[in-house]
Structure 1
Amino acid sequence: MEEKLVLYIKVQELIKRKFKVAQIAKELKVSRPTVYKYLDMTFDEARAYTDQPLGKKKKLDHYKDWILAWLEEYPHLSSAQIHDWLLERYPHLVVGGSTVRTYVRDIREVYQIEKKVVVRQYEAVPEQPMGKQLQVDWGETRQKTIDNKEIKLYFIAFVLAHSRHKYMEWQTRPFTTRDAIRCHENAFKFYGGRAEEIVYDQDHLIAVSENAGQLLLTAEFQSYVNERKFKVHLCRKADPESKGMIENVVKYIKGNFADSRVFSDIEDWNKRARQWLERTGNHQVHQTTKKRPAEVFLLEKQHLQPVSSLLSYESTINQSITRSVSKDNTIRYKSNRYSVPLGTYQTMSENLVWIEVEDEDRKTLVIRREAKGEVIAEHIISSEKGKLIQNRHHTRDRSKGLKEFKQRLISYFEDQVQATAYLDEISQRYPRYRRDQFTIIYKVIQQYPALIDTILIKCMTEKLYSANDFRDVAHHLDTLRDEPVEEVQSFYTSTPTHSHIKASTRSLNAYTSILGGRA
């Protein structure tokens, strides 16, 4: 091959220029054994060698074009990632890790594809007995999407300390405590039980603080710990000896699974994550234990504590989880699509809704815009797969009622032109929550009918385009109506409770004018 003959010529040129072998290897991005090999050859020997570059046919030659394309686009990829990508594309391929490493190294040398080496620091972690400890941590990545944009993803990772058996879940928004609890339950189901102790970093999702060894958990997570009865160990910050194992797992997930992978939707992403765990994360031999986590886990599983299938509080308080709304105004739940009202999907928003399963007999799927907000859709859950369950009302444009509501609000104001502009701006900023926004403003109108025109002027002047801001201004103005001018001035020159109302920058004359007084 011409590439190798060119490499031979470059080696000879550099040695004539008094380069050392290590310098040549670094300059040409090849290994030192390769440099020695070419130094021992004559030109004719090199040409004969390059005419038969591969000697006998190699097992991965059939996949060379794929490997070369991946390395050229993502030069930083490790041989382990190449191995995983091959198995993902060709599930029936049987090839060892050392074979892939050798082949990738040869490709890099021939095509001069340098890999950037990142030095990673590791801390020794004491070995734990079977079933003793589970470590948990959170991470986030930025991924390219299929439409060549970028999205931020968040994940939670679990690892059993003895077997190194791993589990993870992803979502498109930051985790809440309830998300963390849901993922713990899914992890226990995945493992078939729980460990005696769970190790965490000082994460605000679960812990308020750790004061001289006294652990303070958030009320919601403390309730969960009491229910599941596991011990909690909270690491100090920068304490890799306690949680180095899970930190390495987070790095492994980022560097092997997530790195350079393209995102389409969160359900597909989680499905591919589970497949990666099965073929790579829990299948490949662990560098420390020299064993496959999946095989060791079969023994450790017998030492885990059993967990009930349902938490006691779940029987009375339904647990909400989120789903993404597709462009066709449907969500996916257990292999089926369920409709939501037309217009729920918005091009400039995150498009998340909250779902719950209610009524044990009929199994009703309840869909809300917010966790405890207005119900926008209900469906009887189908036992079939691949079906579209659609409410015929969801195919209609139901904006007429909202328009009438908006016109009714406008009619209460003296300056209806300005009121229209204000509500239009709110509609543009909160397209999915227009009815909620209008409802709050309507309640303010009912409570403070004499102040609404003053509130509108204030909000328009200060560019406070939110129903909550409208309500806050109403409360403040109502409180200050009967107070002396000096107290009004004192109030607005002090640090405001609501920092978004920038009243402290105005003069006393402006406030007395707004309130109908004289300067």
Structure 2
Amino acid sequence: MLYIKIHELHKRKFKIAQIAKELKISRPTVYKYLGMTFEEAKTYTEQPLGKKKKLDLYKDWILAWLEEYPHLSSAQIYDWLLERYPDLLVGESTMRAYVKDIREVYQIEKEVTVRQYEAVPEQPMGKQLQVDWGITRQKTTDNKEIKLYFIAFVLAHSRQKYTEWQTHPFTTRDAIRCHENAFQFYGGRTEEIVYDQDNLIAVSENAGQLLLTTEFQSYVNERKFNVYLCRRADPESKGMIENVVKYVKGNFSDSRVFSDIEDWNERARQWLVRTGNHKVHQTTKKRPAEVFLLEKQHLQPVSSLLSYESTNNQSITRSVSKDNTIRYKSNRYSVPLGTYQTMSENLVWIEVKDEDYQTLVIRREAKGDVIAEHMISLEKGKLIQNRHHTRDRSKGVEEFKQHLISYFEDQIQATTYLDEISQRYPRYRRDQFVIINKIIQRYPALIDTVLTKCLTEKLYNANDFRDIAHHLDTLRDGPNEEVQSLHTILPKHSHIKASTRSLNAYTSILGGRS
């Protein structure tokens, strides 16, 4: 079709530049197709990018994404490829050229929205952090739609980014929790934090005298950073975070499928490492992650917990992950199995016991009972787990086995049978015993017969034990029904006797000889 359109416009005396503008392709592409016959163009489109290139292996992916989402940028496509093929080594300029060629050949036009920003002076290291919120709509794995909310942070000097997502609108407490997580991520705070006029943060500008919400004002007093509130309709004063929000929406979340919030946040963190903070920034021409290593040294240290919250009879909260852990100072600490609930807010209250910051205390409620205590680790990236927070091991496997043996009349045979199962299935012996226990509870009168049958046939498997029990139970029920039906019929006709014939009579009837 591209070949036909180019030749039609050329016959109508369009100039090369006019054809390129009309069809939104480059002038070299126009020259190339004008110099081809139809058959040559057909052959070329079967291998549209000329000589074989490294990205040809991923052409089907790229073309499918562009056809379904024409607005995708080459940078986002590059990130999606890296997500599926982490070992892919190709330059960004190569990716841009390849995507551009595919757009031209397949006539996939990209809609571009241009927004103007006013340039702002570069900020010194450790001076400013910008914060903003965003909302997206995502397709879910069951083909529904969900609204997601996120908060984004960016250091004004290094452009190091941090994001956090949740499925419900942000409250002031959510905002404070995310600030704390961001400070832990950065390893400190800046002198100044820039915000939009959001009702979570501020009540009014009051002609330059800021009126913050009570809860957030207490937080600012504790952390001692300066608040810079942008004027209304003045996005340029925080253009960096505006771009970050747009970047998160356009590169990470756009067209990505949502399964659950834990997985989504984990993928967002991976995206920050892989793309968000790794790619060279177009303004600074440096990688944010590399510049951040220098800026980190200029950040103000923050204490691990908020003293104002403890004095107000409150504790700082942490979210419980689906693996029943919480994050604290770059480590994960376990809570009892079952603390995480699917349809719950999954928040716990934590505090540090003793002035030496030695023990982390975790509660369900601010003044509730303690559900976990851990010695605080000075390392990073560690899982600190209490073995009692895993599945209940109060009843050991051996004790469970002895409990099962007690149900059988011949306990020696039962011991032999269960010991053999333990040897054959050492990793699954508990699961095997659970199946046998269910059969014992359901068919207590049959278990000795089943045991004898299994030992005779050498069937050392709980599933065989279960199947034989089911079979014997079926046989036990079947004959009883037949006997019952015979007893109901026989008393009524028991006086009737059927007549009999000799064998010679049957032979005569069949035409045989006696």
TM-based fold match above 0.5:
yes
Answering whether residue 165 of structure 2 is matched by residue 177 of structure 1, we say: no
Letter in 2 for 1:352: E
Q: Does 1:227 align with 2:222?
A: yes
* Match for residue 320 of structure 1 among 308, 314, 317: 317
What is residue 399 of structure 2 aligned with on the other side? Answer: none
Q: Distance in 2 between matches of 1:48 and 1:258?
A: 38
1:69 paired residue number: 64
- Whether the 8 Å contact between 2:204 and 2:211 is mirrored in structure 1 is yes
Match of 1:144 in 2: 139
Which residue identity lines up with residue 288 of structure 1 in the other structure? T
Q: Is residue 2:345 matched to residue 1:352?
A: yes
Q: In structure 2, the residue corresponding to 1:134 is in which secondary structure? A: strand
Match of 1:396 in 2: none
Residues 336 and 371, structure 2, Cα contact 8 Å, conserved in 1: no
Distance in 2, Cα, partners of 1:335 & 1:299: 30
The residue number in structure 2 matching 1:122 is 117
Provide closer, same or farther for how the CA distance between residues 304 and 320 of structure 1 changes in structure 2, counting only shifts above 3 A: closer
- Is the CA contact 2:167–2:261 (under 8 Å) kept in the aligned structure 1? yes
8 A Cα contact 2:350 2:360, kept in partner:
yes
Q: What is the aligned length?
A: 374
- Shift of the 259–385 alpha-carbon distance from structure 1 to 2, 3 Å rule, reads farther
* CA deviation after TM superposition for structure 1 residue 352, in Å: 2.8
Q: 1:388 to 1:76 in 2, by over 3 A?
A: farther
Taking the aligned partners of 2:53 and 2:387, their CA distance within structure 1 comes to: 43
Paired with 2:42 and 2:69, the residues of 1 have a C-alpha distance of: 31
Aligned to 2:417: none
Is residue 2:16 matched to residue 1:17? Answer: no
Q: Secondary structure in 2 aligned to 1:60?
A: helix
- In the alignment, which residue of structure 1 is the partner of 2:271? 276
Identify if the C-alpha distance between structure 1 residues 218 and 18 changes in structure 2 by more than 3 Å, giving closer, same or farther: same
Amino acid at match of 1:12: H
Distance in structure 2 (CA, Å) of the matches to 1:293 and 1:362: 35
Q: 1:253, CA displacement in angstroms?
A: 0.7
Q: Which amino acid aligns with 1:209?
A: S
**Aligned residue runs from structure 1 range 77-92, under 5 A:** 77-92=72-87
Q: What is the distance in 1 between the residues matched to 2:317 and 2:246?
A: 30
- Contact 1:337–1:386, Cα closer than 8 Å, also in 2: no
1:29–1:113 CA contact under 8 A, matched in 2: no
Which amino acid in 1 is paired with 2:54? Answer: K
Unmatched runs of 5 consecutive residues or more in structure 1: 1-5, 393-519
Between the aligned partners of 1:218 and 1:26, the Cα distance in structure 2 is 54
Structure 1 residues 182-197: aligned runs within 5 Å = 182-197=177-192
Deviation at 1:18, TM superposition (A): 3.5
Q: State the shift of 1:312 in Å.
A: 1.7
What is the one-letter code of the residue matched to 1:182? R
1:69 Cα offset (Å): 1.7
Question: What is the DSSP-based 3-state SS (H/G/I as helix, E as strand, rest coil) of the residue aligned with 1:102?
Answer: helix
Alignment match, 2:233: 238
Tell me by how many angstroms 1:66 deviates.
Answer: 1.3
Question: What is the deviation of 1:111?
Answer: 2.2
Q: Deviations over 1:143-182 (max 9, x none)?
A: 1111111111111111111111111111111111111111
**2-structure distance, mates of 1:10, 1:296:** 49
Q: Partner residue of 1:100?
A: 95
Residue 203 of structure 1 corresponds to which residue in structure 2? Answer: 198
Q: Does the Cα contact within 8 Å between 1:353 and 1:367 map onto a contact in 2?
A: no
Task: Identify the residue that residue 302 of structure 1 maps to in structure 2.
Answer: 297
Q: Does the 8 Å contact 1:336/1:387 carry over to 2?
A: no
> SS in structure 1 opposite 2:136?
strand
SS of 2:125's partner is: coil
1:218 alignment partner in structure 2: 213
Residue 244 of structure 2 aligns with an amino acid whose one-letter code is: V
User: CA 1:241–1:28 in 2, change beyond 3 Å: closer, same or farther?
Assistant: closer
Q: Give the conservation status (yes or no) of the 8 Å contact 1:139–1:156.
A: yes
Aligned match of 1:35 in 12, 18, 30? 30
Q: 2:55 aligns with which of 60, 69, 74?
A: 60
Give the residue type in structure 2 aligned to 1:223: S
- 1:157 counterpart residue number: 152
SS in 1 for 2:100: helix
Instruction: Provide the C-alpha distance between the structure 2 equivalents of 1:245 and 1:229, rounded to a whole number of angstroms.
Output: 23
TM-score by length of 1: 0.65
Q: Which amino acid in structure 1 is aligned with residue 348 of structure 2?
A: I
C-alpha spacing 1:248/1:387, structure 2 compared with 1 (3 Å): farther
Let me know the Cα RMSD of the aligned residues: 3.2
Deviations 1:379-419 (A, max 9, x none): 67894499974689xxxxxxxxxxxxxxxxxxxxxxxxxxx
* Equivalent position SS for 2:163: strand
Q: Name the structure 1 match of 2:252.
A: 257
Fraction of identical pairs, as percent = 74
| Aligned counterpart for 2:261 among listed residues 251, 261, 266 | 266
Using a 3 Å threshold, how does the CA distance of structure 1 residues 388 and 34 change in structure 2: closer, same or farther?
A: farther
SS at structure 2 position matched to 1:35: helix
Counterparts of 1:74 and 1:199 in 2: how far apart (Å)? 34
Shift in Å, 1:217:
1.1
Residues in 1 aligned to 2:22 and 2:105: alpha-carbon distance in whole angstroms:
14
CA distance in 2, matches of 1:27, 1:323: 56
